Chain A
Amino acid sequence: MSTDTAARNADPAIRPFHVDMADEAIVDLRRRIAAWRPPEREPVDDQSQGVQLATLRDLANYWATEYDWRRCEATLNALPQFTTEIDGLDIQFIHVKSRQSGALPVIVSHGWPGSIIEQLEIIDPLTNPTGHGGSASDAFDVVIPSLPGYGFSGKPAVTGWGPDRIARAWAVLMQRLGYTRYVAQGGDWGTAICAAMARQAPEGLAGIHVNFAQMVPPGVLGHIRNGDPAPADLSDAEKRAYDQVAFATYHRGYGVIQGTRPQTIGYSLADTPVGLAAWLLDHDAITYEHLARLFAGHPYGAITRDGWLDNTSLYWLTNTATSAARLYWQQAVTGQNFYAAADVSLPAAVTVFPDEYVQAPRSWTEKSYHNLIYFNHAERGGHFAAWEQPQLLSEELRAAFRTLR
C-alpha cells in the first residue's frame, strides 16, 4: 500500500488504549520458563562467552516465581495510553500533559532492546518539574510511542520502516495531537529517529535532544569500513570513538545477526523466553555487567529487576522481538553506518553519558549537529539513560531545551 493510499484511508482517530494480556499468556510464559533446558555453564569466569548461566538462572527463577506482570500492566494503565493509525500501522503511545501552562511538548523515542518501559520514570519529572526540584517554566507535555514493530504498536508487514519513515509518522502523530511547536528526544534507535525528524524539518519541530550522538565524519567512515586502525591524526577522544564505532558496527554478534538474518534469530526470540531474555541482556559489555549485578541483588540506578523483566515480558507477550530485530535489517540494507554524522541543521542538544558504549567527542559532534545549542557530559549513567538516571536525564532535557521555549 503506498503512503498516499495509506494517508487517504487512514483513520485519524485517537483511541484510548489499555493493556490486558490474557491469563493463559502469562501461564504459558511461566510454564516455558519452568521447562527451560539450560546448557552447561560457560567455561570462563566472566562474560567473555556471553550471558553467564548463573545470571540467567537468577533471572529465570525470579521471573517464573516472584515476578508479576499484572503490576506492570497496572502501572501502564494508570497512564493515559492511546493508539492511532499512521501510514497503515497502529501506533501506541503514552501521552501525559503537564498541568503547567506553556509546557513544551516532547516526543521521546526508545530503542533496542528497550521500550516505553524505559521512559516511565521521566514522565513526572518532565511534566511536573516542581515536584522534582525543577521550576514550572521547565514543564513538558510528554509523548512516548512504541516504535513500529515494538511493544504495543503494530508490526510492519512491508519493508521500509526505517528511521526516516518512523520520523514521518512521529511528525504526523504530533500534528494529530494538535501540537504546533514541539521537540524530540531519543537514544539508541531514538537518536536516528530524532535526526531524521530534524532533517525532514516538519512544521512545528523546534529542535532535538539525543543521549547518543551520531557523529562519525564522512572522511573517517571509509577507514572504518576498510577495517583500518584509527587514523593517526585523530585526537585521543576521536580515536577512542573510532574504535568503539568500529567494534559496534562489525563486531557485535546481535547487531550483525539482526542486521542480516532477523528472521533466523527470530525463531529463538519467539519460542523461548529464557533465550529471549539472554539475547536482550547482551547489548553491550558495560550494560551487561550492571544487569548481571542487578540480578545478583545490586542496584542499577533506577532500573530494577522488575523493571527489566517488565521490558523483557513486553517483548515476549507482544511477540515483537522478531519485528524489532527487523529494524536493524532495514538500516543495514541502506548500506549506511548508523554512527555516521547526522548532518542536522535544526537546533540540537547532546548529552554524553559516561557508560555509553560510544563516547562521542565534542569535535565530531559539533560537525554533525551544525546548530549545537547544548553539549554536556553527564556525571553518571549509561546506555539506558532515562531508565537508569531519570532525574539526571530530566534535568538535561530542561537545560537543553530552555532556550527553545
Chain B
Amino acid sequence: MPVTTENSAGATAIRPFTIPEVPEAELKALRERIAATRWPSRELVADRSQGVQLATIQELARYWTTDYSWRKCEAKLNALPQFKTEIDGVDIHFIHVKSPHSDALPLIITHGWPGSIIELLGVIGPLTDPAAHGGSAGDAFDLVLPSLPGFGFSAEPAEVGWDPGRIARAWAELMHRLGYVRYVAQGGDLGAFVCDEMARQAPAGLLGIHLNLLKAALVGPAPAEPTEAERAALAAIAVMQTSGYGYFLEQATRPQTIGYALLDSPVALAAWMLDHDTDSYCKISRAFTGGQPSGNLTRDHVLDNITLYWLTGTGTSAARSYWEGGQAAARAAGQAPAEVTLPVGFTTFPGEIFRAPRSWVEKLYPHVIYFGEADRGGHFAAWEEPQLFSEEIRAGFRPLR
C-alpha cells in the first residue's frame, strides 16, 4: 500500500533528477582509502579457484586511484533524462529516454546484482534510435531504466518485504504514472525475477516480457535422457552449486554481516562485486591485467559501477535483495505460482551461468514467442554486447508491436 505523506503529491510526482556533483573531497577520500588498503597474502593457487586474484584486484586498485575518473560517469548520467518518484514508500530513481520515432514501444529494463543502470547505458542509443544503430525505425523503444530499491540512486527500503513481487508492482505503477498503456519488460539476473513476477501479475498494459536468465533452473524432476543442451546446463548449474554460490548464500542469509565490509573498504567491495561468476570475473580480470576488455566491459565501465555502489553506500542494501528473494521463495514453497500466459521471449548468452535450453524455457513459460541464442556475451549481456543485446530485444519484441 502506498505510504502517504504530507507532501505525497510532491513525492509521488515524476520529479526531474540530476546527480549532485560529488564533492571533490569525497572522491579524494575514496582514492585515499584505496591507497591505504591493507592486503592479504596472495592466493595459494595459480588460478581463480580461491577467489579474486591478488594481481587482478591490485591492478584494479591502481587504475582506480590513478587513471579512473568518476566525473566522466557523472557527466554521462546527467546528460540523460533522470527522474525520481516515490512508489510504495520508496523513492525510485530512473532514466527515461523517449525515442525520436513515433510508435515506439515502451520498454522497462531491470538490472540485477552486482549491476546497476550503468550496465544498460550502452543500449539506450540502439534501442531508442535503432535507425542510427544498424536497425529500423519500426523497432524503436521508449526506454525506462529504474534503479532497484536499495541500489544506486533509489532509496533503501526501511522495512522488509521488498521482494521481486513488490518491485514488480512498483514497476507497473511506474509505467502507469508515465502514461504508458501498452509496454513490455526485460530483465536479467534479479531483473529476470522481477520480470517473471510482472508476467505473473499481468498488470494492465504489460504485453510481454523478455529475459536473459532463467529463474527456475529446472522445473520438475531432472530429465531421464537429457539432451546435450540440458546436460551442459545441468553441468554448469552443478558447478555453481558446488563452488559458485557463496556470495548468493551469504547475501541471502546474512546481508548485514557482509554489508559492513562493503561499505567500509572500497577494495573489499570491488572484490566482492568482481566475483559474481567465473565468466565475468575472467573477462573483468583480463580487462585489468591483460588490457583487452570483453566488448563494452571496459575498466572504466566496471569502475563506474563499483564507484556508484561506493558513493551511494548501497553495498548492504543491494545485498538485502537476495535476502528478500530468499524469504519470498520460502513463502512460495509448496504453492503453485500464478501461471504466466503472457508472451515470453528469451535469449541465451554463452557466458551466462548456464545456457538455458529451449525445453526448460518452454516448461516454465507456456507461451514462448522468441528464443534466441547469441554467440557472444555473458551474464552482463547488455553491458558487454550492447549492440547484439539490442538486436535480440528488437527481435524478441517485434511480434508484440
Contact = CB atoms under 8 A, between A and B. Distances in A.
A262 B51 contact: yes
Contacts of B260: 38-39, 51, 56, 272, 274-275, 278
Given A263-B40, A271-B267, A275-B268, A50 B257 contact: yes
A137 interface: no
A275 B265 contact: yes
A271 B188 CA distance: 32
Contacts of A260: 51, 242-244, 246
B261 A272 contact: yes
Interface size class for chain A?
Answer: 35 or more
Contact of A264 (B41, B158, B254, B272): B272
Nearest to A278: B260
A274 B44 contact: no
Nearest to B157: A43
A39 to B, nearest CB: 4
A145 interface: no
B317 interface: yes
A244 to B, nearest CB: 16
Contacts of A268: 258, 261-262, 265, 268, 271-272
A96 interface: no
A155 B317 contact: no
A375 interface: no
B332 to A, nearest CB: 18
B125 interface: no
A84 interface: no
B204 to A, nearest CB: 31
Interface string B262-298: 1111011011101100000000000000000000000
Contacts of B264: 36-38, 272, 274-275
Interface residues of B, number: 55
A270 B159 contact: no
A273 to B, nearest CB: 9
A112 interface: no
A44 interface: yes
Interface string B49-90: 011111001000000000000000000000000000000000
Contacts of B41: 155, 157, 319, 322-323
A4 interface: no
Interface in A19-44: 36-40, 42-44
Contacts of B160: 43-44
Given A251-B249, A278-B256, 8 more contacts: A39-B259, A39-B263, A56-B260, A253-B254, A265-B272, A268-B258, A272-B261, A279-B261
Interface of B: 37-41, 43-45, 50-54, 57, 156-160, 242-247, 249-265, 267-268, 270-272, 274-275, 313, 315-317, 320, 323
